[in-house]
Amino acid sequence: MAGSYLKVCSVYEIPPDQMLSYNIPELQHDHAIDRFNDLRANYYRYFRFNSRFAAVAISSLIVIPGICLYTFADQHDKWDWRGKKRGESLARSA
């Protein structure tokens, strides 16, 4: 009797066929979604290295880092952040 208050409801007491008895109507099956899911799951099988992917690869591996490198190299000697007082310009004097 001492442990009976702990056993209110157990999952194991519910039969498996009655665990989800919500009367939810069946969803309609969409074949386009299935084809899309199949394409996404097996993308490595359908991949072709064409001109579009070559342009993306070149721009992401060469052009974007090149633009960043040029910008950083151009701005490198223009600013001086050390020992500035309030009101002084951060621009490095030539």
Domain boundaries, the chain: 50-76
Residue range 10-41, pLDDT digits in tens = 555 666 666 665 655 667 778 999 999 998 99
Of the chain, the percentage scoring pLDDT greater than 70 comes to 70
DSSP state of 8: S
Supply the DSSP string of 33-66, one letter for each residue.
Answer: HHHHHHHHHTHHHH----HHHHHHHHIIIIIHHH
Is 0.75 topped by the overall pTM? no
Predicted pLDDT of residue 10 = 54
Instruction: Look at residue 29 in the predicted model and tell me its pLDDT.
Output: 79
